[in-house]
């Protein structure tokens, strides 16, 4: 999320700054990367229930994705609307 915000990626508002309180950094993670991520915890799942665009099985809050070498090349799809 921080990388996307710093790069000016439109569609990732990240209004809460990564505090897991707004869901405006909702993304759908492409395979095979979605399978490489740890499962979303209860707090993240609860926030995904309130996204403007319905969550999918590959939905994540980008503020909860910790980048590492295994995720090099990670691609995501942005929802139609974050608001």
Does 59 have pLDDT greater than 60? yes
Mapping DSSP to helix (H, G, I), strand (E, B) and coil, where does residue 27 land? strand
**Domains in the chain: ranges and CATH:** 2-77 (3.10.20.30)
Q: How far apart are CA 2 and CA 60, in angstroms?
A: 14
pLDDT of residue 70: 96
pLDDT in tens, 8-54: 777 787 888 888 888 889 999 999 999 999 999 999 999 999 898 99
**CA–CA gap between residue 7 and residue 42 (Å, rounded):** 29
Compute the distance between CA of residue 34 and CA of residue 7 in angstroms, rounded to an integer.
22
In the block, residue with structure tokens 């295994």: 70
């Amino acid at each position: 999320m921080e990388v996307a915000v710093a790069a000016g990626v439109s569609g990732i508002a990240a209004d809460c700054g990564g505090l897991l309180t707004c869901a405006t950094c909702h993304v759908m993670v492409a395979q095979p990367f979605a399978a490489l991520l740890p499962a979303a915890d209860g707090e993240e799942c609860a926030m995904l229930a309130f996204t403007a665009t319905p969550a999918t099985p590959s939905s994540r809050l980008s503020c909860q994705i910790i980048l590492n070498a295994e995720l090099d090349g990670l691609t995501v799809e942005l929802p139609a609307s974050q608001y």
